[in-house]
Structures are given as C-alpha cells and as structure tokens.
Amino acid sequence: MVSMSTPLTTDVAASGATARRIAAAAAVLLGLSLFLTVAALEVPANAGDAELLRWWREQPNRTAGILSGLAAICVAVSFPVVANYVLQQRNAARAPHWRGFVHSMVGAVTALWLITGAVRAAIGRWVDISDEPLPGPDALRVVTALNYSLLGLSGMAVLSLAILAMSVLLLRTHVLPTWVGRVGLACGIPMLVSVIAQYGAYTTALGVVWAFCLAVALWRHDEPG
C-alpha cells in the first residue's frame, strides 16, 4: 500500500512545486509589466498643440505607446496567475470573505488593465498598424487624459485594493510567510491614499516592490498551505 501511494505523493508534491514556481515567475512578470507600463510612455505635460502633434508624429513615441499597452495587458494576465495559486491553497479557505474579495478585485484588475492597455496603444495602432492619419490635438488630448485617468485612478485603485486584500488574506491564513503580507500593507495603503489624492500613477513603484517581494516569498516557500 505504501509503495503504491508514494509515487502519487511525489507527483502531487512535484506538481505543487511547479505551480508555485509558475506563480513566482508570474509575480516577476507582474512587477516588470507594472514598471514598463509607466516607464515606456510619458506624454509631455502642459504641451501646446504644435508640441503635442510633433511628439506624436515621432514613430518611436507611438511605438512606446504600443509597448506600454502590451505591458498593461501583461499586468492583466499575470496577476490572476499569482492570485489563483494563492486562492487555491487549502489554508485560504480559513478566510472565505477575504478570499472572495481578493477574487473580485483581481477580476477588476484584469478588466481595467486590459482597457488601459488598449487605450495606451490606441494612437500607435491607429497610425502605424491601421495606417490612418494622426488625429488632431484635441483628440490626442482626450486620449492622453483617458490614459492617465485609467492608469492613475481606476487602474491603481483596484490594484491597490487587490494588494491590500491579498495581504490581509496572507496574514490571516499563513498561506505564505507573514512578512510578505506586511509588505503588501506597507505598499498598498500609500497606493490607495495616492489614488484618493489623484496621484495614483506616482506610486506604481510600490506595486513593483510588492510584486517582486511576493515572487521571492513564492519561490522560497517550500510547503504551500
């Protein structure tokens, strides 16, 4: 009986280790994607119509917009991979309400960051992929305003809430070491406050720090709960 169950136990352990490492890699991708979403595209502030048109006429800037959009899509895809690993652990059932809240917020992150990615890549795709003329300055300003509102307001709001909810879940259930839950609180609270103060995009670095810390915790945690 023991000889029959041992291979099964080994397979289950190996499968769990593989899933954990995939989640850790997804957390690294999440951190890199958050950084690139913001760093790849920076439309000049307080620019006049001529300056704004001149900036968008440069193809590298439009390409940067497409790269920024792809990075935002990677955020939307990678966060659920990390969250699903955490939520599927047995100990996560100890806090069903927080587990449900994490699930809801991660779904919101996916939806809003997919939209953010599409908007950030819109001008580059319209001009360089669809071979359409560059829109006028008024349209460019609207797209830019929508870009920054999606990222700094709604996008960062749901991201910070997802980080906070997952951090509380980790502290209550010990699915991962508690230090990563404390890091999540230390990063998520200022992010949420900055969203309320209308400066959400400026705290993206805190989300990057949390994602990398989560990756370390996942990679080094040998026995998921």
Contact predicate 122/144, CB 8 Å: no
What's the predicted TM-score (pTM) here?
0.88
Ranges of residues in the chain whose predicted pLDDT is under 70: 1-15, 222-225
Half-sphere exposure of 117 (CA within 13 A, CB side): 19
Q: Which two tokens stand for residue 13?
A: 């352990």
Rounded Cα distance between 178 and 193, Å, is: 23
Contact predicate 40/71, CB 8 Å: yes
Rounded Cα distance between 12 and 59, Å, is: 50
pLDDT tens-digit readout, 125-155: 999 999 899 999 899 999 888 988 999 899 9
Residue 63 backbone phi and psi in degrees, to 5: -65, -40
Determine the pLDDT at residue 165: 96
